[in-house]
Structure 1
Amino acid sequence: MARTADEFARAAGKVAMGYFGTRIEVETKADDTPVTIADREAESLLRAEIRRRYPDHGIVGEEHGEVLPGASVRWILDPIDGTKSFVHGVPLWGVLIGIEVEDEPVAGVVHLPALGETVTAAKGLGCRWNGEPCSVSSENRLDRSLVLTTDESVFHGHAGEAGWRALAAAARITRSWGDCYGHVLVATGRAQVMVDPILASWDAAPLLTILTEAGGCFTDVSGEPTIHGGSGVSSNPGLHPQVLKLLAGDP
């Protein structure tokens, strides 16, 4: 199914690219996050393709809710992860698809159409970046690591603020190359750590499979390997315990 998910993500990316870089109306949802016609049309296409190919599979997406919630196979969709970047013409956004079987993540795709990058993984079959095998960095020292987050301001007043400051101080360099792009950079070995203190299930849906198959780690900030923990940390096995310890405020 990973190959099919890749196909669907590319099709949704074409829909979104039709709006990228144009003047587009932005609405604000009840949770204070932005949404556009591009988000809705891309998710509608994904849902139509899934229903056509797999009518007995469940679907949950950021924009259109859930169907067949009791299905053994569930597709989790974020048609445009990084809508704020999208509406400002910044190419660091992507189409996210994760697949669960009996509540276990088994496949994931992050397609970055504006950058021409796609990362795809299936459980037990490895991770591929634009069709070639990829893996996380082997760097195990934070003082030689690139550490990312989506937006440092999210930590302000957050329970994890002190932990983030400690992690940033220990890192060689920090950058706010956020949303799915940061996790892709870790999975492909170009960055060492990505931290999202707030992360919805559809934002995390492909990441556990992708990072695991790339030889890395993806957990919530408490260290649980889950896409439903409300937060996300991507890194490699040598760094992950160090990162979690600092985020927990334990120097």
Structure 2
Amino acid sequence: MSERTESLLQAAADVAEFAAGVAMQWYGAGVTVETKGDGSPVTIADREAERQARAWIERRFPHDGLVGEEFETVRGDAKRRWIFDPIDGTKAFVRGVPLWGTLVACCEGDTVLAGAACYPAVKETVAAARGEGCWWNGSRAQVSSVSALAEATALVTDSRFPARPHRRDAWFDLVANVAVSRTWGDCYGYLLVATGRAEIMVDDIMNPWDSAALQPIITEAGGRFSDWRGRATAFGGDVIATNAALANATHRYLLESSAGATGDS
């Protein structure tokens, strides 16, 4: 990437691109799909990409912790840790749909220092770090300036979203007021928001490896990233990501109080 010195930002981008390249070796190859205990799919591509990403970090940052979707945590008490999702969008990956990505985040506590997402099948990488901006294929990324819901594009991963009935009602109330709604989901939706091609992306359930890398990408591109309670966190278990201009309007539909979400945290 241009105009930046070697940094955690560069490391996050490099390891995301490296691991995505590993996963690409199996893309379109008809890999065997296994089902994990939580019902989600996994393949040899997921496991090998994460294994090699962990080894990449071990060689360069041997004292840092390692957290990922497919393997046990290493050095969980380390001050700084790297969080991996080797293939975000495995269901798309195994069907030959290119809207999947590799996510990498570097964190201290609950602060995400840097995050990167590589989408090798569509040849796009976006990466960001606190105070260093968001970069998309070597150029600055910026959320859109769309300020009217009637002109906005709103995205979600699955048409069956959300699972919680009161959230479903809120989502469809929002969708009734936007120009376009699509299920260009998983991490690809956040790429579109960060690069100004969509305005709203929402997820009902997010693990740390799903969301950590995306927070700095959205915020450093000028957007807003919160959970459904309005907290600016990458670890809230759910996500509302918007451009800056539509954050308040979106939150009026979607934000929920603790009292109103009993049993849904």
Q: Which TM-score tier does this pair reach, normalised by the shorter chain? A: over 0.9
Residue type at the aligned position of 2:122: L
2:28 matches 1:21: yes
Q: How does 1:32-47 map to 2 (within 5 A)?
A: 32-47=39-54
Among 172, 187, 197, the alignment partner of 2:179 is 172
1:138 partner SS: coil
Among 203, 208, 211, the alignment partner of 2:218 is 211
TM value normalised by structure 1: 0.97
Among 96, 99, 118, the alignment partner of 2:103 is 96
Structure 1: gaps of 5 or more residues: none
- The CA deviation string for residues 76-120 of structure 1, in whole angstroms up to 9 with x for no partner, is 110000000000000000000011124311100000000000001
User: Which stretch shifts more, 116-125 or 64-73?
Assistant: 64-73
TM value normalised by structure 2: 0.92
For the structure 1 residues 248 and 217, does the alpha-carbon distance in structure 2 shift closer, same or farther, using more than 3 Å as the test?
closer
Structure 2: gaps of 5 or more residues: 1-7, 258-265
Q: Work out whether residues 195 and 232 of structure 1, in 8 Å CA contact, stay in contact via their aligned partners in 2.
A: yes
Among 98, 114, 118, the alignment partner of 2:121 is 114
Aligned to 2:13: 6
Residue type at the aligned position of 2:221: A
Identity percentage of aligned residues: 47
Name the CA distance, whole Å, in 2 between partners of 1:67 and 1:60. Answer: 7
2:40 matches 1:54: no
2:122 partner SS: coil
Q: Work out whether residues 105 and 112 of structure 2, in 8 Å CA contact, stay in contact via their aligned partners in 1.
A: yes
User: Which 4+ residue blocks in structure 1 deviate beyond 4 angstroms?
Assistant: none
Aligned to 2:204: 197
Name the CA distance, whole Å, in 1 between partners of 2:124 and 2:254. Answer: 30
2:165 matches 1:149: no
Residue type at the aligned position of 1:200: N
- The CA deviation string for residues 145-194 of structure 1, in whole angstroms up to 9 with x for no partner, is 00000002022553311101101101111000000000010000000100
Among 242, 246, 256, the alignment partner of 1:239 is 246
Instruction: Tell me how many residue pairs correspond in the alignment.
Output: 250
